[in-house]
Every structure is written in structure tokens, then in C-alpha cells.
Amino acid sequence: MTGSLLLAALSFLMVVPWGNWAVGQLSKRGIVKRVRLDGPASHQVKSGTATMGGLYILAGIGIIASGLALAGYPRALVPLVAMLVFGLLGAVDDLQGLRDAGGVGWLARHKLPWQWVLAAAVALVMFWAEERHLVALPISGDVLDIGWWWVPVTAVLIVAFSNAVNLADGLDGLAAGTSAIAYAAYGGIAGMSQPGVSLFCYALVGVLLAFLWYNVHPARLFMGDTGSQALGAGLAAVAVLSGHWVLLPIIGVVFIATALSVILQVGYFKFTRRRHGEGRRIFRMAPLHHHYELLGWSEVQITLRYWIVALVAATVGVVLGVGLR
């Protein structure tokens, strides 16, 4: 544990000095946020903020994970592959948003098929990279080898969480902070049994803290889909590799709640439009954090409270995960 925490600290110290350079380079090249008009009106002041900061995150964890592999922990490269693949997909989405005057990126109906194809490919690579394909069951403590079922489970989790983290990336520091907590939880769960995965998680926590240095309110750097889709895919990957992916809905509860708020809002709107001729809403605005904004909560209040919920959920997940050993 001491070595893992030291790695997180060193990762932060290695990456954080490059933040100003990253902000300057992205801004100089016109890679700045165009805030969508259908979001909260208060967010229009964020237009012009450097975006695609996911490149900063991916560069940092890519270098550190490669160093871990050379140091004898090659499994650190497995979740990195998932992050790089979905980071590339997110970059395509970000570039589309930069070209669109309204800031609208790749439409979901066009993006989702590519997500499934790439998630299946990543799941197969992960399957071949692992000798055993285990799942630990909460409460009972049983550990099962699920064989080829591991592939569709992995693909579903990658698609689900790449989108869920993406939806949670709507306030300064929200997605990065909650992701850092979730990765720290899985770093603790993986522990000595999966040292490569554990070290990867703690290294990424350090990188995310470095990113947060520039992303907390008022943000100077946004991660964009390049970062959010990569973080979601990577989180699903480390959950599966740890064998404790059943705990992911607990550890990632803020992402689940965010995604469900959008699904419920869209579904209810379409249902009531067909039934009553006009669409009605459950929340004032989805995702859920925007609902709280319109209720009068400040951006900082919402972000910090999400962090608190994420920390409590992660603690429960770690207790269950460690207790199952």
C-alpha cells in the first residue's frame, strides 16, 4: 500500500507541471469548448475553455503504465489499451463538436455501433491476455470462472461506463474527481493479488489529481469525450480484471445514477409525447447534476456532494471486495 500511494504521488508530481503547457497548446490550436445551447444558460461562460484534455490524461498514464510494464508489471498495459481505444473514439467525437457551430458532436445513433464494435474487440484482447476469467460473488465469497461469457460481460460494461462517465462530465471537476475515487477503490481491491492492475489504478489516480489541478472550478481545461470515454472504458476494464466487476454498480453509483437520469428523462418524454401530444419531464434537466443546478445548487456544491457520495460508495465497495478474499 505504501508503494502504491507513493506511485500516485509521484504520478501527480510528474504530470502536473505539464498542465499549463497543455492548456496553452490546445488553446493556441483553437481546441476550445463550444457549449451546447440546450444546456444550462449559466454554462455559456465556459465557452472558449481548452478542451480535449483527455489527451493530457492519456499521455500521462500511457508513459507511466509503459514504465510499469518495463518494471515487470505488463498487466498495467491491458486497461491502458481500453483507454486508448475509447480515447481515440472520444477524440473523433470532440473534433466533430469543434466543427459544429452548436457544439454538437457525434450523434449517439452513429457513435453507438462503433462503441460496440470496439468494445467487443477490446474484450477479446483482454480475454486472450488473461489465463483465467473470474468473477467474485458478493456475500457468498464464491469465485467462478465464467469462460467465454467474460467477453460479452466486458463489452457491455465498457460500453455502459464509457457513456456513463461521459454523461457525468458536465461540471468542473465532477467526472475527474469521481473517477479518481472509483479507480482508487479498485486499486485497493486488486491489491497484492493483481499488482499490475492495482499499480495502474493508483498511477491513474495521480494523473487525475494532476488534471483536477486545472479542472476544478473555474476550470481552465476540460477532458472532453477524449477523456471521459477513456476513463469509463478503463474503469470497466480494471473492474473486470480485478474479478470484482459485480461491485462496479456500487463503486460507480454516481455514473449509474447519471446515466439512468438521462434514460428515464428521454423515455418519459417520448412516452408522454405519444400519449398526450406533448413531452413531459421527470427532472428539470438531465443529466441529474443539471437538475440540481436548476434547483439553485452551486456548481461547487454539486461537485463536492457527488465526491462525497462516490467516496462512501467506494468505501462500501472496498469493504465488500476485500472481505471476499
Using one digit for the tens of pLDDT, what is the confidence trace for 33-84?
877 766 676 777 788 899 999 999 999 999 999 999 999 999 999 999 999 9
Give how many domains the chain has, as a whole number: 1
79 touches 70 (CB < 8 A): no
Let me know if residue 242 belongs to a domain.
yes
80 touches 61 (CB < 8 A): yes
Largest Cα–Cα separation, the chain: 63
Q: Pick from 24, 3, 10: which is nearest to 221 by CA?
A: 24
Distances (CA, A) of 12 to 17, 138, 181, 237: 9, 33, 15, 22
Let me know if residue 305 belongs to a domain.
no
**In whole angstroms, what is the distance from residue 164 CA to residue 152 CA?**
18
19 touches 210 (CB < 8 A): yes
Give the dihedral sign, CA 13/23/287/116: negative
Let me know if residue 178 belongs to a domain.
yes
Distances (CA, A) of 268 to 261, 283, 291: 10, 10, 16
Q: What is the pTM of this model?
A: 0.94
Distances (CA, A) of 151 to 43, 120, 206: 40, 7, 30
Instruction: Please give the average per-residue pLDDT across 123-147, as a whole number.
Output: 86
Let me know if residue 52 belongs to a domain.
yes
Let me know if residue 264 belongs to a domain.
no
pLDDT given at position 311? 98
221 touches 53 (CB < 8 A): yes
Query: 3-class SS at 248?
Result: helix
Which DSSP state fits 134?
A: E
Q: What is the domain extent for residue 60?
A: 2-246+311-323
Instruction: Please give the average per-residue pLDDT across 285-290, as a whole number.
Output: 92
Which DSSP state fits 245?
A: G
Is residue 270 predicted with pLDDT exceeding 60?
Answer: yes
223 touches 207 (CB < 8 A): no
Let me know if residue 152 belongs to a domain.
yes
Instruction: Please give the average per-residue pLDDT across 193-207, as a whole number.
Output: 95
103: pLDDT confidence band, cut at 50, 70 and 90? low
Let me know if residue 27 belongs to a domain.
yes
Mean pLDDT of the chain: 92
104: pLDDT confidence band, cut at 50, 70 and 90? low
Instruction: Please give the average per-residue pLDDT across 5-34, as a whole number.
Output: 95
Let me know if residue 68 belongs to a domain.
yes
